[in-house]
């Protein structure tokens, strides 16, 4: 087995790949982390029901003198995780692919509250030539946000990682941001869809912080500097 993540952000979850069985194994002894594994299991339940994907997933619990231990097993998805730390112009084609994929997984609805992934990021999407797959559903919640929330989060995370060390955006990244935002706005014009703006995104996260708990402050979109935020708000006008 190969250890691929060892409690990132101190989340208490170890992630391994079992190559012989083609499984991703996520395990923890932490009570809080076990709750997130339960959320992830529910997220995969919902996701696979929406996509009719063929996969094996199950959640096991073990209890001994040391306490509770839980392991989530999910069939391995083949492809490459998105490069979320690259700039938005580099990721343009993949973002367009994700927008179309999101519409397939989350059919448009007039309902005000729909399920959310909670950490919808290019880094949590496996890309292959013919298909996409969404992973890491630890913050999944039913009936949590209007249609499009996760998509807006991914979009603004992409621009967050586009700022250079001086806190600026290149001309190409600004143009790509404006182009993709037009696509986003067109996509989101339906029913009770989420508003494609940085203020709408961060205000919603603040008001619903219990979804993320201590991990709210680790969300990239919650870490824009004032100067970066002002620049984004200016581009949105």
pLDDT in tens, 170-214: 999 999 999 999 999 999 986 678 999 999 999 999 999 999 999
- Asked if residues 92 and 176 have their Cβ atoms less than 8 Å apart, the reply is yes
Q: Dmax over Cα atoms in the chain, in whole Å?
A: 59
Q: Quick one: which of 2, 8, 1, 3 has its CA closest to 136?
A: 8
The contacts of residue 182 (CB under 8 Å, 6+ apart) are none
Confidence at residue 62, expressed as pLDDT on a 0 to 100 scale: 67
Q: Is 191 left (phi over 0), alpha (psi -120 to 50) or beta?
A: left
What angle separates helix 149-160 from helix 198-207, to the nearest 10 degrees?
110
* Residues in the chain where the model's pLDDT stays below 50: none
Confidence at residue 88, expressed as pLDDT on a 0 to 100 scale: 98
Confidence at residue 191, expressed as pLDDT on a 0 to 100 scale: 62
Q: From CA 27, how far away is CA 208, in angstroms rounded?
A: 27
Helix (H, G, I), strand (E, B) or coil at 159: helix
Helix (H, G, I), strand (E, B) or coil at 130: coil
Confidence at residue 64, expressed as pLDDT on a 0 to 100 scale: 58
Confidence at residue 56, expressed as pLDDT on a 0 to 100 scale: 67
Do the bridges between strand 14-18 and strand 23-28 make them parallel or antiparallel, or are there none, so unpaired? antiparallel
User: Using alpha carbons only, how large is the chain's radius of gyration in Å?
Assistant: 18
Instruction: Show the domains of the chain with their CATH numbers.
Output: 2-75 (3.30.200), 80-236 (no CATH)
Q: How far apart are the first and last CA of the chain?
A: 50
Q: From CA 19, how far away is CA 115, in angstroms rounded?
A: 31
* Angle 95-154-210 from CA coordinates, rounded to 5°: 160
């Amino acid at each position: 087995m190969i250890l691929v993540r060892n409690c990132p952000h101190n989340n208490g979850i170890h992630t391994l790949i079992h190559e012989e069985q083609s499984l991703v194994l996520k395990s923890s002894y932490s009570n809080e982390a076990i709750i997130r594994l339960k959320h992830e299991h529910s997220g995969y339940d919902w996701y696979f029901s929406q996509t009719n994907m063929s996969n094996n997933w199950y959640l096991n619990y073990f209890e001994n003198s040391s306490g509770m231990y839980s392991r989530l097993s999910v069939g391995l998805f083949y492809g490459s995780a998105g490069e979320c730390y690259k700039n938005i112009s580099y990721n343009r084609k993949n973002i367009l692919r994700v927008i179309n994929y999101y519409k397939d997984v989350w059919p448009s609805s007039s309902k005000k509250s729909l399920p959310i992934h909670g950490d919808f990021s290019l880094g949590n999407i496996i890309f292959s030539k013919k298909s996409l797959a969404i992973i890491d559903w630890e913050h999944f919640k039913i009936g949590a946000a209007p249609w499009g929330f996760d998509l807006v989060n991914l979009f603004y995370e992409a621009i967050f990682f586009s700022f250079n060390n001086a806190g600026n955006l290149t001309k190409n990244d600004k143009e790509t941001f404006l182009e993709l935002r037009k696509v986003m706005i067109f996509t989101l014009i339906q029913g009770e869809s989420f508003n494609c703006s940085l203020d709408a995104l961060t205000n919603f996260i603040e008001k619903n912080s219990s979804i993320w708990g201590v991990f709210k402050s680790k969300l990239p979109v919650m870490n824009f500097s004032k100067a970066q935020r002002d620049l984004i708000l200016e581009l949105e006008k």
